[in-house]
Amino acid sequence: MSFLIFANVAMLLLEQSVPAVTQACVLMPALILSRPWTVITYMFLHAGFSHLFFNMLALYFFGPRLEARLGGRRFIGLYLVSGVAGALGSLVTPYALIVGASGAVFGVMLGYAHFWPRDPIYLFLMVRIEARWLVVLMTLMALFGGLSGQSGIANFAHLGGFVGGFLYLRWIELRAPAVQFRAKAAAEVPRSTGADVARWKRIQPEALHPVNREEYERVMAKVELAGTASLTPDERAFLDRFSAQ
């Protein structure tokens, strides 16, 4: 995730020092076929510091926990797929000039709400809202803004980011059994038994410290996706320690 933030900041500095970069990398949906690279490059451009700041703030807030849950490669995949889906959603406004990571960040937001739907989010540090309702609210705002012709905001890119994030997460879930099968087949000797997994599942995460609870959720998600053979000795020791209490 830190790489994504660095790349976005670096691109803003490059935009300001070499204005031709923006012209070469900006997305105009009507020209996607003749400028196909822009479905990627547009999401690393921003209209200014404040535009960059709020996108990176959201990425910093929602990204780390989600990256720990998905793994770095899948997290990058979610980000890029959501951004490309945002570009495709912008076809509704074919002659608009689109820049910004919002579509990609909206996909990350959806991923966070998918795994932790009831987590409280504090808007402007005051208004408390659960993650799932924040996604609903942002969807309604983007729909209203897009259908009402609101200018200056790529509302359909936001909606596309949500759609891309949903489809990517669904693909991961459908593919998980195959990943788990391959991981088990590759292991010469199983390092854990079904009894171990059952014992680990009896751990009550709500009784753990928030830091330990987050680590427990990450490790158990890893077990579900890739099997027990994927666990490191430290991860196994972590589960054994809390299941023995």
Q: Which residue numbers are catalytic?
A: 102, 158
Degrees, nearest 5: CA angle 124-129-135: 100
| Amino acid identity at 243 | S
Q: Across-strand partners of 27?
A: 98
Alpha-carbon distances of 49 from 22, 52, 57, 116, rounded to whole Å: 14, 5, 12, 30
CA 223 to centroid of chain Cα atoms:
20
Residues β-bridged to residue 122: 128
Residues pairing with 172 in the sheet: none
Task: Give the gyration radius of the chain's Cα atoms.
Answer: 20
- Cβ–Cβ < 8 Å for 66, 1: no
Separation of alpha carbons 136 and 128, rounded Å:
14
* Distance separating alpha carbons of residues 19 and 189, to the nearest angstrom: 58
Give the separation between CA 114 and CA 66, rounded to whole angstroms.
10
238 DSSP assignment: H
